[in-house]
Structure 1
Amino acid sequence: MAKSKLIQAVAITFAVFLAGCASQDTEETSGAETTETGTEAEDEGLGDLTLEVEQQEPVMEEEPMEEMEQDVTGEFEALLDQTLIYFDFDKSNVRTEFRTVLNAHAMNLVANPNMSVVLEGHADERGTREYNLALGERRAKSVADYLMLKGVSAGQIDTVSYGEEKPLALGSTEADYAENRRVEIKYQ
């Protein structure tokens, strides 16, 4: 029941966002038409140019609300399916590209206060065992802090560090190391 309400809220928010974007495009276009119409009055030779510009404007068709809700629901669920947050070498700050994913998880947790997550911090094999355990903990805490800034209760979040002990990739290439520098979000 709570998940349904969350999905509806996300769908409505997304629809309002799209409507806001559409109204901005209309305002910009109408300003361009006014300018060209004023120029047309001064120079009759530009009348044909103005007509061509007006004919090339795209016509926006509105999607039915149900289709928009399905699109938003699908996008939201796809974001929730992403449970791996990757980090740069020897860093524990959340990269910009993962903020959308974490925002979706935060919305889900805020909408479902009985739900909780375990954030598992990991590191690649470079560095000492102790250092990598501490780095994994900093990464998990960084994700936890981000979620709490978005309204998630601290009681819904547990953190644990595995350091280099549970690698996803077993090789010693930079690509393998990059896969192992992560936080896994696990719902309980």
Structure 2
Amino acid sequence: MRMKFLALAAVALLAACETAPKDANTGAASNSSSIRPGSQEDLAVNVGDRVFFGLDRYDLSPEARATLDRQAKWLQTYGSVTVTIEGHADERGTREYNLALGERRANSVKNYLAAKGVPANRVKVVSYGKEKPAVVGSTEAAWSQNRRGVTVVD
């Protein structure tokens, strides 16, 4: 009898493992195939839509270049997609300084994508400086998430 119980428990556990995960908002089973190819969600989930920069820097790290390599390939796959690169900075520094730094970061991303074969006329840039933080807070952890370039599908 104990073996039957253990066998039933094992079957129940395996069945639970094969159940599709539920969406936290709707309770419905989530399905990654519901992502529309060539969309912002596709870019963010399957490629990565942002790169990060060091303090007062706009040069691309090896991790950023790897993300941008994937973005360039994705943009070549979806040849009709145009994007805007948003340049962002952390809260330190003046508004003017951070707007200029955000623009240098966005242009750094655009230039890298162009060097990888993405036509420059498909990529616009905009700087938000410190005006749109991804993470609110005055800590290095927050600042490091705010020093970024974000690729947004138009």
**Alignment TM-score, normalising by the size of structure 1:** 0.57
* Residues 160-179 of structure 1: pairs in structure 2 closer than 5 A: 160-179=126-145
Amino acid at match of 2:79: P
SS in structure 1 of the partner of residue 137 of structure 2 = coil
What is the percentage of aligned positions where both structures have the same residue?
Answer: 47
Which whole-Å deviations, capped at 9, do the CAs of 1:17-66 have from their partners, x for residues lacking one? xxxxxxxxxxxxxxxxxxxxxxxxxxxxxxxxxxxxxxxxxxxxxxxxxx
The match for 1:25 is none
SS in structure 1 of the partner of residue 131 of structure 2 = coil
Q: Between Structure 1 and Structure 2, how many residues are aligned? A: 113
State whether structure 2 residue 140 is matched by structure 1 residue 145: no
Q: What RMSD over aligned residues (CA atoms) do the two structures have, in Å?
A: 1.8
Amino acid at match of 1:171: G
Q: Distance in 2 between matches of 1:109 and 1:80?
A: 12
Query: Which runs of 5 or more structure 1 residues have no equivalent in the other structure?
Result: 1-75
Among 95, 98, 122, which residue is 1:156 paired with?
122
The match for 1:116 is 82
Please say if residues 88 and 102 of structure 2, whose CA atoms lie closer than 8 Å, have aligned partners that are also in contact. yes
Which moves more between the two structures, 133-142 or 166-175?
166-175
Please say if residues 80 and 104 of structure 1, whose CA atoms lie closer than 8 Å, have aligned partners that are also in contact. no
The match for 1:102 is 68
**Alignment TM-score, normalising by the size of structure 2:** 0.69
State whether structure 2 residue 26 is matched by structure 1 residue 91: no
SS in structure 2 of the partner of residue 160 of structure 1 = strand
Query: Which runs of 5 or more structure 2 residues have no equivalent in the other structure?
Result: 1-41
Name the structure with the higher helix share. Answer: 1
Structure label with greater radius of gyration: 1
Please say if residues 43 and 49 of structure 2, whose CA atoms lie closer than 8 Å, have aligned partners that are also in contact. no
Runs of 4+ residues deviating >3 angstroms: 76-81
